[in-house]
Amino acid sequence: MIVHDALKIAREWVNNFACKETWFKGAYFSGSSIKREATSELPPHSDIDIMIVSSENAPSLKLGKFLYKDVLLEVSYLPVSLFSSAEAILGHYHLAYSFQQTEIISDPNHELRPLQQLVSRDFYQYQWVHKRCLDAKEKAENGLKNIPKDAPYHEQVMSWLFPTGVTTHMYLTAALQNPTVRLRYYAVKKVLMEYNKASLYEQLLQQLGCRNLSAEKVTHHLKELAITFDLTSQVAKTPFFFSSDLSKSARPISIDGSKSLINKGFHRESVFWLIATFCRCHIILNVDAPKLHEERFYAFEAVLSDLGIHSSIDLYSRAKATLLEMPNMWSDVLTILQQNPAITHSN
């Protein structure tokens, strides 16, 4: 299906369903679809991201991934309080990127489009790009400093993994690129190569633990993940905010998408989402199928072992090492900010 038709179907869903909710305040596209050519083919490992701006009484869990007329949509809710001003949006690294260039699908109160004009006008100014990079830096630091000591091991891994991955978002934000979730290491590799910082990229992989991991090893772990994923999708009952990412509809992204990266020679870049999906599977299995959780845990421990992580102590040690390296990483972010020709400086 071409992108134009997929977006048309997504708009239809918004107009037929979301717009009718009392808490609905607006909607816009997010993610990679906003950068794709309208006449290009929508990749099989992609979905259409829709952000729903909502009032306070919106559902607490995002609707997530689901198929609508053969298009995989991912619908998330954002509180209207995030859109209080252009300044609030400009300082938020995730929010600003998609909002400043996207298509507003619906704006019933005529508030989002005027805000978008202001955000688009100032998006490239140095002060705001710097602030967004700082937003990513603080998010990474706060996460790495607050890995819960009393949480189950798989949840501790998740608490270490995501802020470690947010370090890539500092560079993507400085380069004015999409701070993508699943493909963050693939995306940041391109950026750092453009700025002649190949050694920095290897350092990011080292922090994750996959710098020297072979394609054969990653392929093996993905096969094990696929087994765990399929079992999880069959037994999952308790709702989590990421539940739809582990549904049968989402399998082409979580499993097939990772396989595609490996086949293209980017096996190290697939590791982040492989670990994230393993963690999520075991969070669900621990609640809904404890026996399966125990039976499949060896596969999760095996991939962590290949990353050099054997216990919670290793997670805290890895987090501390990343935090100690943060000043040097931030210096590289500032270098990219200075070298990026698209960033404007106020007189």
Per-domain boundaries in the chain: 3-122, 127-324
Those residues whose C-beta lies under 8 Å from the C-beta of residue 66, and which sit 6 or more positions away, are: 72, 73, 75, 244, 247, 249
| pLDDT score recorded for residue 347 | 55
Q: Which residue reads 């809904």 in tokens?
A: 288
* Amino acid, res. 166: V
Beta-bridge mates of residue 51:
28, 76
The percentage of the chain sitting over the pLDDT mark of 90, rounded to a whole number, equals: 91
Give the confidence band of 344 by pLDDT, cuts at 50, 70, 90.
Answer: very high
CATH topology of domain 3-122: Beta Polymerase; domain 2 (3.30.460)
| pLDDT score recorded for residue 171 | 98
Average pLDDT (161-187) is 97
| pLDDT score recorded for residue 338 | 96
Q: What is the pLDDT of residues 125-173, one digit of tens each?
A: 999 999 999 999 999 999 999 999 999 999 999 999 999 999 999 999 9
Those residues whose C-beta lies under 8 Å from the C-beta of residue 347, and which sit 6 or more positions away, are: none
| pLDDT score recorded for residue 201 | 97
Nearest to 128 by CA among 84, 88, 178, 90: 90
Q: What is the pLDDT of residues 240-291, one digit of tens each?
A: 999 999 999 999 999 999 999 999 999 999 999 999 999 999 999 999 999 9
Q: What is the pLDDT of residues 79-109, one digit of tens each?
A: 999 999 999 999 999 999 999 989 999 999 9
Dihedral (CA of 30, 35, 39, 45) sign: negative
- Which helix (H) or strand (E) element contains residue 25? strand 24-30
**Do 103 and 31 form a contact (C-beta atoms < 8 A)?**
no
